[in-house]
Amino acid sequence: MQNPDQNKVIKILVSILFIVFITNTHILKAQNILEKVTKKVFSTSKDSTRSGVFMILPALGYAQETGAEYGIASNYNFYFNKKDSSIRSSNILLMGTYTTKKQSNIKLQSDIWTDNNDYHIISELRYRNWPSNFYGIGMDTKKIDEDLISQKLFRAKLEVEKRMTSNYYSGVNIQYDYVQFHDREPGGIFDQATVIGKNGGQQLLLGISQLYDNRNHVSYTTKGYYARAKLAYAPKLWTKEDFEGANFDADIRGFFPINKKITLAAQAIYRATFGKTIPYYAYRDLGGDMMMRGYYIGRYKDKNYLASQAELRYRLHPRFAVAGFTGIGSVFSKEYQARFVPSYGGGLRYFFSLEHNSNIRLDYAYGEQRPGEKRQSGFYLSLSEAF
């Protein structure tokens, strides 16, 4: 017979063996999961079924004027017809965020290419109840004059372009905006600004567009050209402070392969607003995550906007790429002269879909440093390339 001490030793050994077994089982499971995730993240194989791919990113942030911000940004890439090998990749973007100060931003955008790329359809629905900073008009505004403005925006937009020849499209477009503003710091420079439409207003834009596009891919282009011009007329329909005039937008891009992994990309844009009545909300903003990265969007604001940028992209692995970029731009009008400012930075790319060349973009950019101010800069986490 075994004595009590032997029984205790046996029980302890059995317990230790059981713990070791359970621990090893969990370690093996964790290793299997890690191996699967690693294989998926670094996989170089494409989806031969040409299926759609869906990606969700968390949207988290904090700012004094908004409090904590949380939400999601999601992107769905797909082919309108999977059997058509010539068709370009389409995408639908949905983003929604909310803050602890009860502000919200909801956006639904789509960029669709139909069978044989015969039609190109762009749409947008947006509701935004969000504060923004106003610094004045022109390129000589100061950080110290920052004035917090509440803004509500509703937008509905539809653009349809039909292919006329191999790479040339002609189209029509319509856009409706309803905007409201409220100065949250009465007595600031927004109250003092001599601009129309400080309480908000409406605009209905009816336009035409012309597009030349022979890019090899729309999401991560390595070769080809893109040139688009759009003219939109805003008729007088409502109050005397609503926009009555026209917008002209031009966007030119070129992509030049240096070798199989390195691409030089360049872009130039010109945006003009003119007419009888040009309210504040129809002005053009410099900055943001697409052009002139490193500047708070709206840091410089005026009726016209001219900018360019160049980006050197190195795809070091089918799933990963790095990029360095630089740019220059300015807003201007008859009342305020142009003053071109620099933008430069770099970032990382992760391609979550090799079939659609869809990626997650992380950029950090710098702008100018005005006398007595910190250098302007910004971090950007986005779905898709800047251009």
Q: Percent of the chain scored above 90 by pLDDT?
A: 69
Q: Give the mean model confidence (pLDDT) for residues 247-263.
A: 97
Strongest mean pLDDT among 31-40, 94-103, 112-121: 112-121
pTM for this model (two decimals): 0.84
Residue in 45, 50, 79, 55 with CA at minimum distance from that of residue 360? 55
Residue in 276, 274, 344 with CA at minimum distance from that of residue 305? 274
Q: Which residues pair with 228 in a beta bridge?
A: 211, 251
Tokens of 383: 């779905």
Q: Give the mean model confidence (pLDDT) for residues 262-285.
A: 95
Query: Of the given ranges (64-68, 91-95, 204-208), which has the lowest mean pLDDT?
Result: 64-68
- Angle in degrees, CA 134, 382, 314, rounded to 5: 120
Is a pLDDT exceeding 70 seen at residue 45? no
Residue 42 pLDDT level (bands cut at 50, 70, 90): low
Residue 47 pLDDT level (bands cut at 50, 70, 90): low
Q: Give the mean model confidence (pLDDT) for residues 345-354.
A: 96
Is a pLDDT exceeding 80 seen at residue 300? yes
* Residues 287-299: tens digit of each pLDDT: 999 999 999 999 9
Residue in 58, 47, 56 with CA at minimum distance from that of residue 76? 56
Tokens of 274: 């003119």
Tell me which amino acid residue 124 is. Answer: E
Residue 17 pLDDT level (bands cut at 50, 70, 90): low
Residue in 126, 114, 121 with CA at minimum distance from that of residue 173? 121
pLDDT value at position 33? Answer: 60
Tokens of 110: 């789509």
pLDDT value at position 187? Answer: 82
Q: Give the mean model confidence (pLDDT) for residues 207-215.
A: 97
Q: CB of 148 within 8 A of CB of 185? A: yes
Q: Which residues pair with 348 in a beta bridge?
A: 322, 362
- Half-sphere exposure at residue 133, Cβ-oriented, CA atoms within 13 angstroms: 19
Residue 46 pLDDT level (bands cut at 50, 70, 90): low
Average pLDDT, the chain: 89
Is a pLDDT exceeding 90 seen at residue 383? no
pLDDT value at position 57? Answer: 81
pLDDT value at position 314? Answer: 98
| Comparison of pLDDT for 96 and 5, the residue scoring more | 96
Q: Give the mean model confidence (pLDDT) for residues 225-251.
A: 93
Q: CB of 379 within 8 A of CB of 366? A: no
Tokens of 70: 């949380």
Is a pLDDT exceeding 90 seen at residue 7? no
Strongest mean pLDDT among 11-15, 67-71, 149-153, 311-315: 311-315
- Angle in degrees, CA 250, 254, 258, rounded to 5: 165
* Run of H or E residues at 287: none
Q: CB of 325 within 8 A of CB of 291? A: no
Tell me which amino acid residue 114 is. Answer: T
* Residues 172-201: tens digit of each pLDDT: 999 999 999 988 888 889 988 888 988 899
